[in-house]
Amino acid sequence: MRTLCASTLIGEFFVIGFAGLVAMKDPDLSMTTVWTVSGIAMFLCVVLCGLVTRPGGVQLGWALQIGLIASGFFVPTMFFMGAVFAALWWASVHFGRKVDEAKARFAAQASTEAGAEAS
């Protein structure tokens, strides 16, 4: 699960950076505000790459997805991109867990077979 989720988060890191560049063109937003919010979100993406397998990591990822969708109020394209990344996040978590379960079953089967051969 870690690899799939981390890949999604790194993709989000870049999308958030590009959205910050677009948001700078909004005359109602100061550059300081744009880059403070974007910087915090980008930092969270990187930190979550390491925390995704820890308790609460997936939930923090969902909070980031909600924030990404909500950023569409400032950069309208982010409604779409946020929804796309939320779907990717769901797929990463869902299929990542299935892969982890399959790996665990394979490891258990391999250790059982190794034990049987040693007997």
Q: What confidence score (pLDDT) does residue 60 get?
A: 95
Q: What is the amino acid identity at position 23?
A: A
CA 46 – CA 6 distance, rounded (Å): 8
Give just the sign of the alpha carbon dihedral 3, 44, 38, 94. positive
- pLDDT band for position 94 (cuts 50, 70, 90): very high
34, 20 in Cβ contact below 8 A? yes
The mean predicted confidence, pLDDT, of the chain is: 92
30-65 pLDDT tens trace:
999 999 999 999 999 999 999 999 999 999 999 999
CA 119 – CA 80 distance, rounded (Å): 58
CA angle (35, 57, 7) in 5-degree steps: 65
Question: Has residue 2 got a pLDDT over 80?
Answer: yes
The residue whose two tokens read 């979100």 is 41
